[in-house]
Amino acid sequence: MPEVTFLEALRQGLWEEMERDDRVFMLGEDIGAYGGAFKVTDGFQKKFGEARVIDTPISEAAIVGAAAGAAHMGMRPVAEMQFIDFISCAYDMLTNYVATARYRAGLSTPIVVRGPCGGYVRGGPFHSQNPEAAFFHTPGLKIVYPSTARDAKGLIKASIRDEDPVIYLEHKWLYRRIKETLPEGEEILTPIGEARLAREGQDLSIITYGATVWKALEAADQLAKEDGLSVEIVDLRTLLPLDDAAIMATVKKTNKVLIVHEDTRTGGLAGEIAARINEQAFEWLDGPIARVTAHDVPLPYAPTLEDFVLPQSEDIVKAARWLAKY
C-alpha cells in the first residue's frame, strides 16, 4: 500500500465523491484547466468535464452564492477558495444567506467551501489566514479542519455528504509534508463532530487542531524525553460543532489543559473552549486553562517575523512545563 500525502488523500476523497454521485460538482478559480493553484483538482476537468469542474471569474461571493442556489436544487457543489483568505469576500453570502437558509426558510443548502489555509509557509498577511473564528460564531455553518491524511480524505467525503453547509479548512503546510498509508478498497469517512485522540497521556492535555497538532506532537515527544511528562493530545478535527464530550473526557482525565491554535488569540476558539470547560468541568481542573496562540497581529512575511508571531513547538513545551508545575 503506497503512502499518500495529505493533498493526495484530499484529492482521492474529492475524486471518489465525484465518481459516486453525479450531483457533486466543483467550482472555483483556476481549478479546471489548470487543476488549482495547489493542484488539488489536477486532472478532474479532464475526467469529469467542464460542466462539473467549472473555472469561474474572480468572484467569491458569486461562487458561494451560485453554489447555494445549485444546492437548493438538489446539487452537491464543492466551492474552492483559491486561498482561504479570500473567503472573507463571501462572508455575507455564507453568514447571511447560506447559514440562515434552513432555519429561516427551510432551505437545504448542502455546500462545501474548501481551500488552503494557514501559515508557516511565508505567505504573508493574505495567503496565510485561519478564518475559523470569523465563521465559528455563525449558527448554521459547520467547520472542519483535518490534520491527518486519513481525515483529509474522510472529512471531505463526510462534508460533501452532509446535509448542511460545511467550511473545510486544509492547511497548506500539511499538504505535502504529511504522509500516511491509507488502506485501499476501504471507504474512509470521518464523522463530522467527533474529535480524535492524537496521543494518549496522563499528566496534561493539549487541545488543538490543524497544523498545531503536529507542533504539539513534537512538543509532547520532547516533554516525554526531557521531563518525563505524559501529554495527551486531542485533535478536534471538527470545530463547529465542537466535540464537548471529547474535551471534557480529557479534562477529567489529566485535570490540566493547554489549548493551542495557530489563529490569533483574541476572539479565537481557545476562549470558547475554555468557557465550556469552565461550565462543564470546573471542579475537575487542577490549574488554570492556558492558551498558546498566535500573537494578535496580522501575519507578517519575513521568516523571522512569521516564526515569532506563530506558535512554535518550543512555546508549547514552555507552556506545558509551566502548567505541569502549577
Partner 1 sequence: MPSHSVPDTRPETPALPAELERPQLLELYRYLRLTRTLEERLVALYRQSKVIGGLFRSLGQEGESVGSAYALERGRHRDVLSPLIRNLGSMLVMGAKPIEILRQYMAKAESPTHGRELNLHFNDLERGYLGQISHLGDMVPVMAGITLTFKMRGEPRVGLVYVGDGATSTGAFHEGLNFAAVQRCPLVVIGEFNHWAYTTPSEKQFVVKDLAEKAKGYGVHAVTVDGNDVIAVHTATKHAVERARRGKGVHFIEVKTYRRKGHAEHDDQSYQPKDEIERWARDNDPVDRFIKQLVENGWAEESELADIDRAAKEEIDQATDACVNEPLPPPETALPGVYAHPAAAERLWVRGL
56/129 with CB nearer partner 1:
56
C-alpha cell read off for 92: 455575507
DSSP string, 178-211: -EEE--TTS---PPTT--EEEE--SSEEEEE-TH
Catalytic residue among 127, 171, 261, 295: 127
Q: Are strands 204-208 and 53-55 parallel, antiparallel or unpaired?
A: unpaired
Residues comprising the chain, all counted: 326
Rule CB under 8 A: which of 130-189 touch partner 1? Answer: 139-140, 142, 162-164
User: Among residues 2, 3, 38, 1, which one has the least CA distance to residue 14?
Assistant: 38
Minimum gap (Å) between residue 103 Cβ and partner 1: 5
**214-224: b (≥16 Cβ within 10 Å) or e:** bbbbebbebbe
C-alpha to C-alpha distance for 242 and 115, rounded to whole angstroms? 21
Rule CB under 8 A: which of 39-98 touch partner 1? Answer: 51-52, 54, 56-57, 59, 61-75, 77, 92-93, 96-97
Interface residue with partner 1 among 16, 39, 107, 124 (CB under 8 A) is 107
C-alpha to C-alpha distance for 270 and 119, rounded to whole angstroms? 18
Minimum gap (Å) between residue 57 Cβ and partner 1: 6
111/251 with CB nearer partner 1:
111
The residue assigned the cell 444546492 is 71
Q: Going by C-beta distance under 8 Å and a sequence separation of 6 or more, which residues neighbour residue 138? A: 94, 95, 99
- Tell me if 279 contacts partner 1 by CB under 8 A: yes
Near partner 1 by CB under 8 A, which window of 34-42, 100-108, 251-259, 299-307? 100-108
Name the amino acid, one letter, at 260.
V
98/219 with CB nearer partner 1:
98
By rule CB under 8 A, what string of x and - marks binding of each residue 218-257 to partner 1? Answer: -----------------------x----------------
Interface residue with partner 1 among 21, 33, 47, 103 (CB under 8 A) is 103
Residues that bind partner 1 (rule: CB under 8 A) add up to a total of: 43
Instruction: Determine whether 261 is an active site residue.
Output: no
Q: CB of 7 within 8 A of CB of 40?
A: yes
Give me the active site residues, please.
127
Binding residues for partner 1 (CB under 8 A): 25, 51-52, 54, 56-57, 59, 61-75, 77, 92-93, 96-97, 100, 102-108, 139-140, 142, 162-164, 241, 279
